[in-house]
Amino acid sequence: MLATSDIHAAEGRESEVEEKKSAEEVEEKKEKKNFGVFCDERGYLDQIELIMQQGRRKGDRTGTGVLSVFGAQARYSLRDQFPLLTTKRVFWKGILEELLWFIKITRDEALTSCRTSSTPSKRTRRTGGSSCVLGTPKVRHAPRLKYSLNCHMHRFYSFEKEKNIYISSPGAAADLPLMALPPCHALCQFYVCDGELSCQLYQRSGDMGLGVPFNIASYALLTYMIAHITGLSPGDFVHTLGDAHIYVNHTEPLKIQLQREIRPFPKLKILRKVESIDDFRAEDFEICDYNPHPAIKMQMAV
C-alpha cells in the first residue's frame, strides 16, 4: 500500500501535467486567429493568414496546386486614400495603363489581340496580373466593358433616383466555349449614397499573391474615375471573392510579406477636369506619398 505522502506526490504530478496541458491549449488557441471583418491592407493580410491556416489543398488548371477557401470579402476605404498595398511594391503604372486600355479598346483591336494571343500577354506577365484579366476572355470582351460604362454613365448623374448600377461580366454565356477561361470578374455593382460612389466586385476566382493586389487597385481606380466625372466622392471598394486561393509556391514569399509593417496608403490625385470616361490619359493621375516595402518576386502560374 502506498504511503499518504506518495499519494499526494502522485496527485501533485498529475495536477502539474494537467496545468501544463491547459496552458499549451490556451497558447494554441491564441495562435489561431479569430477573423472578423477584413478592412484595408490589414484585411488583405488577414485573408492571406486565413487561407494559410484554414485553406484546403486542391489541384488547379496549372498543376501547381493551391490552398483555397470558398467565399471571402474585404472592404477598402477610398476616402482620402488609395488602396495600393504597402507591404510590397505594386506596379501602379501597369495597373493604370491596363485599365485605360480596357476602356479605350475598340472591337477590332480586341479581336486582333485575341487572334494573335491564346496565352496571357506580355503585359500580364509583367504586371503580375492573371490570365483572367488579360487573357483571351477579357481581351475578347473588353469593348463590352466600354459599352457598358457608356450605356450606364448617365445613370450616375441621377443618383437621387438611381441607387445601384450594375455592370455584368465582360463575357457572355454564349461565348464561354470559345474562352480559355470563364471570366473571373463576374459582376460589378456601383452604389450611390450621401454623395459617395462605392463599388463592389464579385470575382469568380482570385490569385491572392499576384492578381488580387492588382485587382484591388484597378477597381479602386475605376471608381475614382467615375466619381470624378459624375461629381461624386469615392466611398468604398468591396471585393468579394469566390475561390480565394494561394498558389503553394507563393506561401514562402507571402510569409515574408506578412512580417512587414503596414504603412499608410498613398493618395491619388486627378490633375485635370475630365468630362468623359474614355478621355482619361495616363498623365491625368498622380500617386502621392507611396512608400512601400520592396517588391516580392512570385512566380506566375500559367
Per-residue confidence (pLDDT) for residue 254, from 0 to 100? 97
- The model's pTM: 0.75
Residue from 98, 124, 125, 70 nearest 222 by CA = 98
Residue from 80, 105, 101 nearest 224 by CA = 80
Q: What is the mean pLDDT of the chain?
A: 78
Q: What is the pLDDT of residues 120-134, one digit of tens each?
A: 444 443 333 333 333
Residues 148, 168 contacting (CB under 8 angstroms): yes
- Active site residue: 184, 188, 199, 288, which one? 184
- Grade residue 3 by pLDDT with cuts at 50, 70 and 90: low
Q: Over 70: is that where the pLDDT of 8 sits? A: no
- Grade residue 14 by pLDDT with cuts at 50, 70 and 90: low
Lowest mean pLDDT among 39-48, 98-107, 209-218, 240-249: 98-107
* CATH 1.10.287.1080 describes domain 47-288: no
To the query of whether residue 193 is one of the catalytic residues in this protein, the response is: no
- Cα–Cα–Cα angle for 299, 178, 181, rounded to 5 degrees: 25
Percent of the chain with pLDDT over 70: 61
Residues contacting 22, CB < 8 A, separation 6+:
none
Per-residue confidence (pLDDT) for residue 164, from 0 to 100? 67
Q: What is the pLDDT of residues 25-79, one digit of tens each?
A: 655 555 666 666 789 999 999 999 999 999 999 988 778 899 999 999 999 999 9
Domain ranges, ordered by start, for the chain? 47-288
Residues contacting 162, CB < 8 A, separation 6+:
155, 156, 192
Per-residue confidence (pLDDT) for residue 74, from 0 to 100? 96
Q: What is the pLDDT of residues 164-223, one digit of tens each?
A: 666 655 445 555 555 555 567 678 889 999 999 999 999 999 999 999 999 999 999 999
Per-residue confidence (pLDDT) for residue 4, from 0 to 100? 55
Give the residue-averaged pLDDT of 231-256: 96
Per-residue confidence (pLDDT) for residue 103, from 0 to 100? 84
